[in-house]
Structure 1
Amino acid sequence: MPNKIGWNFDNSYARLPHSFFAALSLNPVESPKLVVLNYSVAQSLGLNIDALQSEAGVAILAGNEIPDGAYPLAQAYAGHQFGHFNMLGDGRALLLGEQITPNEERFDIGLKGSGRTPYSRGGDGRAALGPMLREYIMSEAMHALGIPTSRSLAVVTTGESILRETELPGAILTRVASSHLRVGTFQYVAQWGTDEDIQILANTTLARHFPNFNAAPNRYLYLLQEVVKRQASLIAKWQLVGFIHGVMNTDNMTISGETIDYGPCAFMDTYDPATVFSSIDRQGRYAYGNQPHIGGWNLTRFAETLLPLIRENPQEAVDLAQEIIQQYPQLYYTNWLTGMRAKLGIFNEEQQDEALIEELLGLMQQHQADYTNTFRALTLDKVEGIALFGSKDFENWYEKWLARLERQQESKASCHQLMRANNPAVIPRNHRVEEALEAAVEQRDYRVMERLLEVLAKPFAYSSGQEDYATVPDPTDCPYQTFCGT
């Protein structure tokens, strides 16, 4: 059959040692139906939208047919899950291959919820519609916020039910990522492979994500340093918008520096560093305020896998790796502080900026202020409606902030323009996401989700149509919880 859809696959991962993956046969589903298609992603990949929506196109998105040139496989990886090391792998996902776009870019095309693999560990390999739509919404929202992320091409329903706590409609998500190489991929090869295997993986990663490595005196130290830089930047971006990943296991941490695996993730409403949404994070390991620390912990695990490549002498390798890892806290903090200055309209640097920022956050926590809407109100210069308003402490802080802005050369209009570019007017509010998921799953009504996606696509627009989506949820006795959806 001629390739009318536009697939242009290469399969570099399939050319790695066979111990890195398991080749797969497909697990066809009963009656697939396309329910969401991301036109902009499809176009960027060089795909024909009409052909993708045809019966043949949907069959590929459902895992019923193999597209021309693809090589379906499940990747092997390990990971520290809540601090405990385990052998893992793609238990309900497959990699179709790597799409080469018209711009000669390379993206992994993967199916999530596509059935059992050798790594399923007793699971059925399937996914429910709700969690797949959640990943679609959240990943697209993150992309619009300018945060590196995997993206979602499509969601199809399978026509089959899956059994979790109850019977749920099945679905498959098509995920697009710069790659699915994870810290856990390196951990797997370091634990069960050879030094030659880890070198092959490292060289593949360098060629794919860090092509300037030839200029580095030590390419493997360069790899570690670049991954540290990307993760420091990524996690700072999470913190700046109040995003909580929920499961920062090493198998969910990409080498590319993209956000991936949107399971029990959510955005914080009321500012509190101890905020946890995940139902399984009972100790708060992955709480909002702990994410930067966990990023460093995960990077240390990555560094451990590279030690045999960095230096033949073990102690020299450890010393060199530690020098890189020790840069992470300052790299993260510099990214975060720069971002916070922008959120407050500050262009230059003064030593007391850190105290000014920390004082505001402390007041937000004390008064249980909404994180996003506090910065939104400052941006609009309309602070009357926020929880802090009327507090003498906030009045004092506000005067100090205005005085800080006046010490800049930039005009007040320029300050507010900077703030508008860095403070989203809307985020995927948890109650709005749940509203969209309930309509889609319970009534098969996707209009609520489509409208939400339209609003989230332009988070910095500050348009009148976004007003309703900026409101906080009504108070409730039950804290909001999210689930992995496995």
Structure 2
Amino acid sequence: MPASAPTTPNSSGWNFDNSYARLPAMLHEQLEPTPVKEPRMVVFNHALAQSLGLNASALAERAAIFAGNELPEGAEPLAQAYAGHQYGHFTGLGDGRAILLGEQITPTGERYDVQLKGSGPTPFSRRGDGRAALGPMLREYIISEAMHALGIPTTHSLAVVTTGEKVFRQESLPGAVLTRIAASHIRVGTFEWAAAHRDQSALQALADHTLQRHYLALVTAEAPYLALLEAVMERQARLIAQWQCVGFIHGVMNTDNVALSGETIDYGPCAFMDAFDPATVFSSIDRNGRYAYGNQPQIAQWNLARLAEALLPLLHADEKQALELANAAIESFKTTFEGHWLTGMRAKLGLFTEEAGDRALIESLLTWMKEQKADFTNTFRALNPAETAPQEGPAFAAWHAQWQARLKLQPQPANEVLAHMRAHNPAVIPRNHKVEEALAAAMEHSDLSVMQRLLNVLAKPYEDREVQSEFTTPSGLAPGAYQTFCGT
């Protein structure tokens, strides 16, 4: 291990207890971040720092901590080992450019990972430089904050610092380090790593650790590891349904990007859909549309099947019975997902009750939206139960009449219906062109005011404000004209 970096005093509020570091050695490699030349704070999340029990005022100017030049007191830095199915192909991975500093215990007793992303090479770098560029780190900051405001489980961004060094991708770019806060960084790929090494003791230790950290009530279950699989499936089904209900496209749903906590993790080539089309893809490397918007539920089920495979030795001593238990759990995903999706879509249409024709009503609207290339977010936001059908043509008028008839089957008055809809249909999302404007201003002119204004608007996505009008207009780009990139 390299010589220890200086530590920061406890007056900063650090309160580490590093349970992951106590797991079997095959699950991680202990090492420290690689110091950078000239760390400078770009953005610091004061509200998040305070919620973690940190002294925000003391840390906001301490760029050296968030670059890895200094270590918080009590940190036990390590790179996590994991595997992953990337676009369907299994490979060994691990933290190639990230260091887990440890687990911060909040004043309320909650535990959160503190990870530096872009902190230098690790044993898992696979010839990579271990660094990150400023643009992708700011993108993660923006989108993770937006997802949190939308009420969708997500990792958070505590800080972004520049390094005073360049990274080389297609061009020379300013380097940066992002501090990511997560309920944990335990992934489907973490279990795949242990299973691939045929180390059942490590696999069981990881499963027990996951139960203790995220599913404590299941520790005493009759079949705790099967209960773990079912609980992870439930959280993923709910999460993907929430993505679908706001038009979010993750872009890289590999198994190493599926967190067992149920949080959205890794904001690489992600984006939000404008015109509704289930085939929408933004990622520059997803040439076959594997991770298109409409495929996300099926991919989630596929990823969970890989978790089930890894857990087989723990599900039952008899391999045949273990397979039967795993298959039954995975086969139930579709029903579970559809239940969450219907709940979310009913809320978007102001439906408080459940009727047999609800799915057909929802799908009819989506079909019209696809045919008309209607904006996903604005279409739902514009619906008002107290108004007659807008002039959108006979097809929409017919749908609107069906929706009005459906609303009459429930007792809630129009004002209550509208309030329910407003709480579930955002007025603003991180429009792709607005995100790009913010990133360009920061990257090309060191102007963070554009990003801050965007963040201020995204912080209250369900409010109608005049200042938001420029943030609700679609980019006008033709489908397929906008691309996102992984940043590695």
Partner of 1:446: 448
Q: Name the CA distance, whole Å, in 1 between partners of 2:473 and 2:389.
A: 15
Give yes or no for the alignment of 1:224 onto 2:229: yes
Which one-letter code corresponds to 1:158 in the other structure?
T
CA distance in 2, matches of 1:51, 1:390: 55
Q: CA deviation at 1:213?
A: 1.3
Shift of 1:464: 1.9
How big is the shift at 1:175? 0.2
Residues 130-176 of structure 1 deviation map (CA, whole Å, 9 limit, x = unaligned): 00000000000000000000000000011111111011000000000
Does the aligned pair in 2 maintain the 1:377–1:383 contact within 8 Å? no
- SS in structure 2 of the partner of residue 337 of structure 1: helix
Give 1:407 shift.
Answer: 1.9
SS in 2 for 1:4: helix
The answer to whether residue 33 in structure 2 is matched with residue 26 in structure 1 is: yes
Measure how far apart 1:473 and its partner are.
Answer: 1.0
Residue pairs, 1:53-132, within 5 angstroms: 53-54=60-61, 57-132=62-137
- 8 Å CA contact 1:379–1:420 kept in 2: the answer is no
Secondary structure of 1:393 counterpart: helix
Q: Contact 1:129/1:441 (CA < 8 Å) preserved in 2?
A: yes
SS at match of 2:161: strand
Query: Is this contact kept in 1: 2:49–2:56, CA < 8 A?
Result: yes
Could you tell me which runs of 5 or more consecutive residues in structure 2 were left unpaired when the two chains were aligned.
Answer: 1-7
Q: How does 1:81-480 map to 2 (within 5 A)?
A: 81-379=86-384, 389-476=391-478, 479-480=481-482
1:38, distance to aligned residue in structure 2 (A): 0.5
SS at match of 2:158: strand
TM-score by length of 2: 0.97
Contact 2:238 / 2:337 at 8 angstroms: preserved in 1? yes
Aligned structure 1 segments of 4 or more residues deviating by more than 3 angstroms: 379-385, 475-478
In the alignment, what sits opposite 1:51? 58
Q: What SS does structure 1 have at the residue aligned with 2:163?
A: strand
Partners in 2 of 1:394 and 1:376 — Cα distance?
Answer: 15
**Whole-angstrom CA distance in 1 between matches of 2:344 and 2:480:** 33
Provide the secondary structure at the position in 2 that maps to 1:9.
coil
**Is the contact between residue 282 and residue 480 of structure 2 (CA under 8 Å) also seen in structure 1?**
no
CA distance in 2, matches of 1:70, 1:383: 60
Which stretch of structure 1 is more off in the superposition, 459-468 or 269-278? 459-468
- AA in 1 matched with 2:403: W
Structure-2 residue corresponding to 1:38: 45
Name the SS of the counterpart of 1:435 in structure 2: helix
CA deviation after TM superposition for structure 1 residue 465, in Å: 1.9
Alignment-mate amino acid for residue 454 of structure 1: N
**Do the aligned partners of 2:389 and 2:397 also contact (CA within 8 Å) in 1?**
no
**Could you say if the C-alpha distance between residues 380 and 279 of structure 1 is closer, same or farther in structure 2, counting changes exceeding 3 Å?**
farther
- Whichever residue aligns with residue 28 of structure 1, its letter is P
Q: Which amino acid aligns with 1:200?
A: A
**Partner SS state of residue 152, structure 2:** coil
Unaligned runs of 5+ in 1: none
Q: Verify: 1:14 aligned to 2:21, yes or no.
A: yes
- The CA distance in 2 between the partners of 1:196 and 1:379, in whole Å, is 57
SS at match of 1:14: helix
Alpha-carbon distance in structure 2 between the residues aligned to 1:83 and 1:477: 26
State the distance in 1 between where 2:75 and 2:109 align: 17
Contact 1:379 1:423 (8 Å CA) reproduced: no
Q: Secondary structure at the match of 1:97?
A: strand
Q: Secondary structure at the match of 2:71?
A: coil
2:171 and 2:292 map into 1 onto residues whose CA distance is 28
Once the two structures are TM-superposed, the CA of residue 301 in structure 1 deviates from its matched residue by 0.3
Relative to the length of structure 1, the TM-score reads: 0.97
CA shift in 2, pair 1:478/1:305, >3 Å: closer
Contact 2:385 2:414 in 1 (8 A): no
> Residues 203-250 of structure 1, C-alpha deviation per residue, up to 9 Å, x if partnerless?
000000000013411000110010010000000000000000000000
Does the Cα contact within 8 Å between 1:35 and 1:155 map onto a contact in 2? yes
How much is the aligned-residue C-alpha RMSD, in angstroms? 1.3
| Paired-residue identity, % | 60
Deviation at 1:334, TM superposition (A): 0.5
CA offset at residue 390 of structure 1?
2.8
Which residue identity is paired with 2:50?
A: Q
- Is the partner of 2:383 in helix, strand or coil? helix
**Shift in Å, 1:382:** 7.2
Structure 1 residue 408: Cα displacement: 1.2
Determine helix, strand or coil for the equivalent of 2:11. coil
Cα pair 2:212 2:219 within 8 Å, conserved: no
